[in-house]
Amino acid sequence: MSIAKGRALVTGGAGFIGSHLCERLLADGYDVLCVDNYYSSTKDNIAHLLEDPRFEVIRHDVTFPLYVEVDEIYHLACPASPIHYQRDPVQTTKTAVHGSINMLGLAKRTGAKILTTSTSEVYGDPTVHPQTEDYWGNVNPIGPRACYDEGKRAAETLFFDYHRQHGLRIKVARLFNTYGPRMHPHDGRVVSNFVVAALEGRPLTVYGDGSQTRSFQYIDDLIEGLLALMNSADDVTGPINLGNPGEFTIAELAGLVIEQTGTSAGIDYLPLPQDDPVRRQPDITRAKELLGWEPTIPLSDGLSRTIQYFRDTLT
């Protein structure tokens, strides 16, 4: 047996993004330790990896310390959709803050390089468009989304303070709307909401008039971006936006889903939720220049793959 490239820890490894990352790291020759408490994920996402001798799973909550030996840490653990993170907002903040402290402490002890997935939510409802990494955001610190938004902002603070104070090799990625196979069918995110409703013959729910925008990134593009960031020079710390700069209105997305699924159920319009961003689009100049990365999968292609996944899993 060939020697592994290294030992990679993926927190939140049974989640939507984490499971794809574990899969890719194994394919690239790493020993992979997947850590998850299954709060918003499922063992089904990693079932196909369990027979791989280089894959190991630990059921663990990152708000408690973890004592393992690793070379690289991908810290993804945190509920990322409003339905999940608002179910227990105090725990969401603890996961973002205590979880980051524990993983940074592990990186400090082992000398591991550590990457965290922050979020475009740190920009809040932005007054700058598109969003660049030097924009400080427009976040309501006491609103119903603050447990996630401010939790991630605090996590970024911790990463950069550990870097300055202890010399840790850190990487901070700000993820924009990502979609694809293994999304939770009831996570409240717009792509899964639309696709599942369409396949079940229910009306698509659009909040507001559908003119608000998002930029949708297919999972395979994101995984390439995360690996490029982790493997970049040590002085490339981020934060770096990882997203697809193609901007679509929610109404346009609904139209695409209706077209590709063939549903005739129509659309229901409801009021906009509190603090829901009106516009969201990444400026990825920094990712292009420092990582040589940009997404390549158009929304129509990624959406068709996602719809097929849900067709297969919902039947």
Catalytic residue among 39, 85, 148, 179: 148
Annotation marks residue 148 as catalytic: yes
- In whole angstroms, give the CA distance from residue 18 to residue 315: 24
Specify the pairing of strand 7-11 against strand 31-36: parallel
3-state secondary structure 180-200: CCCCCCCCCCHHHHHHHHHHC
- H or E segment to which residue 233 belongs: none
CA 156 from centroid of its chain's CA atoms: 15
CA distances from 85 to 36, 82, 113, 197 (A): 16, 5, 27, 22
- For residue 196, give the nearest of 206, 186, 207 by alpha carbon: 186
What 3-state class would DSSP assign to 179?
A: strand
Say if residues 304 and 236 touch (Cβ distance below 8 Å): no
As annotated, the active-site residues are 148
